[in-house]
Structure formats: C-alpha cells, structure tokens
Amino acid sequence: MKRKHKRNKNFNINQKSFYFEDYLETNQKKNKIKNSNITQDRVYLLFFLFFSLITIFSIKIVFVSLKSIEIYNKKNNSFYLTPLRRDIIDRNGTLVSRNVKSFHAAINPNLIKNKENFLINIRLNFPDLPIEQIEKKLNEGKYFYLKRRLDQNDKEKLWSLGEKGIIFEPFQSRIYTHANLYSHILGQVDYDNYGISGVEKYFDKELKDKKLLNSPLQLTLDTNIQHIIDDELNRALKTFNATGGGALLMDVNNGEVLSLVSLPNFNINKRANITDKNYTNKITKGVYELGSIFKTFTIALAIEKGLVSPETIIKDIPRKIKCSIHEISDIKQFPKDLSVEDILIRSSNIGTLMLAKKIGEQDYKDFIKETNLLDTPEFELEEIGTPLNFKWNKCKLETISYGHGIAVTPLQASTTYAALTNGGNIIKPTLIRKKEYQENKKIVSLETSKKINTILRKVVTEKEGTASLADIYGYDVGGKTGTSQKYGNKNENLNTFISVFPSQDPKYVLLVMLENPQVASDLIYNYRGIKIKGTRNEAGWNSVYIAGKIIKKIGPILAIKNKEFYNKHVAKKLN
C-alpha cells in the first residue's frame, strides 16, 4: 500500500510538473498571439505606406501625362492653328491669300490588311495616281506619301475607304482664294512656307514676321476690276485667236496698280512646275518693241523743247526715207503736209522721224535717261524684265522715234505715259498701299502735258485717228496704238493700246496688249455708228476694241470710288 501511495505521490508531483509546463505553454501561446497582433499591425502599416506611395506616384504620373498632352496640344495648335504667314488682301479688304490647316495622305503598308483591295480602291478613286509605283512601295513595306496637299474632296474619298494604313498628316498650306486670277502677282510658297515667287517671295520676310501676323499685307489691286479685265482679255484671246495677252491699269498720280493681268495664267493652288515661256508675266518681265506708242514720247519732247507746237505744220513729208542701208516708210499714204498733232493722230513714221531729227540725238538720249526706260524697273515682284541694251549707232535716233529698235517692258511704257499725262511727274508703280507717296522729278511741263492729253483724245475721236473703237461715252478716253513685230521673231506680232482717261484730267492709264492676234472675220464692229466686219489685223481693230469694252465695264466702278472723277467728268457727260 505504501508503494501505491508513493506512486500516487509521484504522480502528484508529475501532475504538478505537468500543470506547470502546461501553464508555460499557455503563456507562450498568449505571447505568440500578442506578437502576431504586433506583426499584423506592422503589415497593415507597411501596406498603407506602400499604398500611399503607389497612389502618390499614380497621381503624379497622371498629372505629368496630362500636362505633357496639354503642352503637346498647345504646341500642335500653335503650329497648325497659328498662321506661319500673314494674310494678303486687296485694296478693299478682300482676302486673296491665307494659311490654313491641310493634310498629306501617307501610307503605312504594315497596317493595310488587303493590299489588292486597297489598290483597286485607289485606282477607282484616283485614276491619275501611278498605281504601279504605289504597289511597289506597298510591297517594300516602307512608309510613303500617297498624295500631298489634299483638297477636301480627296480627303473625304480616302477617309471613306476606312483603311487604318492611311495616315492624314496635318500641315499648314497656303491657299489662294482666286486661284488663277492673281497667279502672276501673288506667286507661291514652298512646302516649308517660304516664298518662291511673286509677292510671296518679294515680301517673304515681312509676311513671316510674327509681330505682324494679325495685320494683313494690303495690295493696291482691286479684285472686282481684276476679274473684269481678266474675263475680257480671255474672251479676246478666243475672239482674235491670240497666243497671249496682258493688261495693266494704274493710277497716273501715285502709281497704284489696280489690275495686272497676264495670259495665259495658271492655278497657283496647284504646285505644278511650269516651264513654258508663254506663262511669263508679260507686263513686268516681258520685253517688247512696242511700236508706235513711242511716237507720243517724240511728240512730247519736241513740244517741251519749244521746237514745235501741236499746230505746227511739217511740210514736204516724204513717202520714204533711206537711213544707212535701211528704208523707212509709212504703211499708209498720208498728205505731204501734216501738223504735229496729225502726225500722232494718223501715226506717221516719217513725220515722227523728222521731229526726232529736230530734237537731236543728245536731247533724246537725255529724255530716255530721265524716264528710266532703259533701266530695270523698281517694282514689288521678283519677275522683272530688263530692257535690252543698244548702241546709238546709225539710224538709232530715227528708228527709236517711232518705237523700233528699243525694247522695254509694258510696265515701263505705261509708267512713262502716266508721267506725260499727269502733269509731267514721274511716278513709281507700286502694288502696296501707302499713306504717302514720294514726289518725283518732272520730265515735261504741265503745259506740255495738257497738250499731249488733247492730242491723245483726238487719236480716239478724230476720223483719221487709229483708236475710234475706244471712244466710250462719258469717260473721255485718249490713247495711242502700237503695232509691231515681236522682238527676236519677225513671224510674231504684238498689238498694243495705251489709253488714259478722262483725258482732260487723267486719273488712270490702261494698257492692253495681244500677242499674235488674227483677223476676227466674223466679228461685227460698231465703227462710228456703222456696222462693219473685221478685215484688218492692227491694234486699232483688236487691242483698242478690247480696251473699249474694259473701260465701259470698269468705268462705273472707278467713278463710284473716285467721286472727284465722277463729278468732274461722268456726271457732267451723263447730264
């Protein structure tokens, strides 16, 4: 029993020990639970910290991205929406040139799913494009341009194809609102918006000046008048089967050019490479022998020098004169005795030659020098012709007197006519409207100018005159015709008429010229109230006829805009 008792005792001890150990283990579990809570708190804290950092970085990334897009868009808008060049407008504020957002069509071959269908669609919609070259480029797999400078119609056609591989690249394009109308004046810009011809090149720096972007460049041209003259001149080319023509309308007092037309012209919105010389600006770059219009210069100089008056009779004018190896004659037979004004009215070569001899070579040289007829004219275009040099050898004085042997630009001839008829003041032709115009020297006196105006009026009104078809009621037109061979080609002729109106106090000079006109045998003329068919190929029967039609249409526009002109001449005539 004692052993049993001891075993129980030991058991109790072991139990005690067991319970003690159990107590420690329980204690440890409690500590583990406590430590576990601390660890979870740390995890939560770390998670919160990481989450906060991720959130902050995410916000930052979004902010930077949005800011970049904003900067990019701002830059994009600045490039494509802010014009790189100033507008160009006419004298009335009509827009003639502006930069707009346009597109090139490029192709990414890797994005074209069905190349065969794509080529078929291109062939159907754009038959003028080189399909074989396009197919070759597609197969090469390199990025290329399908069509540059898309118009709206082409863009819509390409857009409707629904091809992801068609990329529309934006760029700034220079558009000309009147296409052909100002092609010889405005010129063009290249793909980088640099002027390469015409006004665009001459004023390239000013047109790109950022400080002046909101201030358009204003020209002296009148779009309405330009359209009328262009239309009439185009009709004239068809009527007389002429190869080309030109016209210039200018204010005789300040040199403002209201219209400048040269035909044929071209659409400057299409960047075509034109090499045909027939597309030369005939008014500013063309150099011609302008024939009998030079007789006016000779008559004016003879009067200015006091050698003759308009009524002075030049007696015994021969039918022909031999000068060196040349024989000079008149096309028509005139009376032997002619007054100075009759010499111009009838357009006598021999009579004019005799007056030139009275003037003398040196005085004629000085006159040519003062008028700058042999200098390159100053004008706001790049396309300017330089008169041909010549030597004052035998017979030069005689031939120059009636317009043979001296070649100048129509711009220069018109400018000299303006000076002779505006009171004798040399003017500087211009395309840019100005607040003030430079005063220039005189080439003849006011008295001589008035006498010349009277004679030029008689060229139109007198029975023997060569410009009767320009006698438009209400505008007192005066002027002089010139029929000559084209310089360097005797098989081609040039018919010119320079008119001034109103002749009593000229405001405008109008030059009209036709290259190689033919007889318009089906045309019915109203010649001094008589209906007759055309039978002659002279300036009086084509250039004068066209000038008369032009003045009849533009006269009312000019009269309305020039109240002094209207009140003094038109209203008085009409009443």
Give the pLDDT confidence of 538-553 residue by residue, as tens digits.
Answer: 999 999 999 999 999 9
Burial grade of 238 (CB within 10 A; 0-12, 13-18, 19 or more): exposed
Report pLDDT digits (tens) over 344-397.
999 999 999 999 999 999 999 999 999 999 999 999 998 999 998 888 888 899
- pLDDT more than 70, % of the chain: 86
Q: What is the pLDDT of residue 5?
A: 44
Please count the helices (runs of H) and the strands (runs of E) in the chain. Answer: 18, 16
Q: What is the pLDDT of residue 484?
A: 84
User: Reduced to 3 states, what is the DSSP secondary structure of residue 548?
Assistant: helix
Q: Which helix (H) or strand (E) holds 233?
A: helix 223-239
CATH 3.20.20.60 correct for 88-218: no
Alpha carbon distance 474, 500 (integer Å): 13
226-260+281-574 to CATH, choices 3.90.1170.20, 3.40.50.300, 3.40.50.1820, 3.40.710.10: 3.40.710.10
Report pLDDT digits (tens) over 125-145.
999 999 999 999 999 999 999
Q: What is the pLDDT of residue 35?
A: 58
Copy the structure tokens of residue 374.
């042999």
Q: What is the mean pLDDT of the chain?
A: 87
Q: What is the pLDDT of residue 569?
A: 55
Alpha carbon distance 550, 259 (integer Å): 12
By 3-state DSSP, what share of the chain in percent is helix, strand and coil, each rounded to 5?
Answer: 45, 20, 35
Per-position DSSP letters for 22-50, written without gaps between them: HHHHHHHHHHHHHHHHHHHHHHHHHHHHH
Tell me the residue type at 363.
Answer: D
Query: DSSP alpha helices (H): ranges in 86-151?
Result: 115-125, 131-140
Q: What is the pLDDT of residue 554?
A: 97
Q: What is the pLDDT of residue 15?
A: 42
> With bands split at pLDDT 50, 70 and 90, how would you rate the model's confidence at 9?
very low
Report pLDDT digits (tens) over 224-274.
999 999 999 999 999 999 999 999 999 999 999 999 999 999 999 887 777
Alpha carbon distance 149, 267 (integer Å): 14
Report pLDDT digits (tens) over 142-163.
999 999 888 889 999 999 999 9
> With bands split at pLDDT 50, 70 and 90, how would you rate the model's confidence at 65?
low
Angle in degrees, CA 86, 88, 90, rounded to 5:
155
Alpha carbon distance 538, 526 (integer Å): 16
Q: With left for phi above 0 and alpha for psi between -120 and 50, is residue 455 left, alpha or beta?
A: alpha
pTM, rounded to two decimals: 0.81
For the chain, the domains span 1-81, 88-218, 226-260+281-574
Q: What is the pLDDT of residue 25?
A: 45
563-574 in b/e form (b: 16+ CB < 10 A) is: eebbebbbeeee
Burial grade of 97 (CB within 10 A; 0-12, 13-18, 19 or more): buried
Q: Which residue has the higher pLDDT, 548 or 43?
A: 548
Angle in degrees, CA 448, 450, 456, rounded to 5:
105
**551 strand-pairing partners:** none
Whether residue 45 has pLDDT greater than 70: yes
Q: What is the pLDDT of residue 56?
A: 81
Lowest mean pLDDT among 51-65, 247-261, 288-302: 51-65
Q: What is the pLDDT of residue 567?
A: 62
Q: What is the pLDDT of residue 181?
A: 97
Alpha carbon distance 548, 539 (integer Å): 12
Q: Which residue has the higher pLDDT, 560 or 389?
A: 389
Whether residue 448 has pLDDT greater than 60: yes
Whether residue 8 has pLDDT greater than 90: no
Average pLDDT over residues 153-177: 92
Alpha carbon distance 257, 418 (integer Å): 12
Alpha carbon distance 317, 333 (integer Å): 11
Report pLDDT digits (tens) over 481-532.
998 876 566 678 899 999 999 999 999 999 999 999 999 988 999 888 888 8
Evaluate whether 216 touches 87 at the Cβ level (below 8 Å). Answer: yes
Return the closest-CA partner of residue 490 out of 301, 335, 250, 289: 289
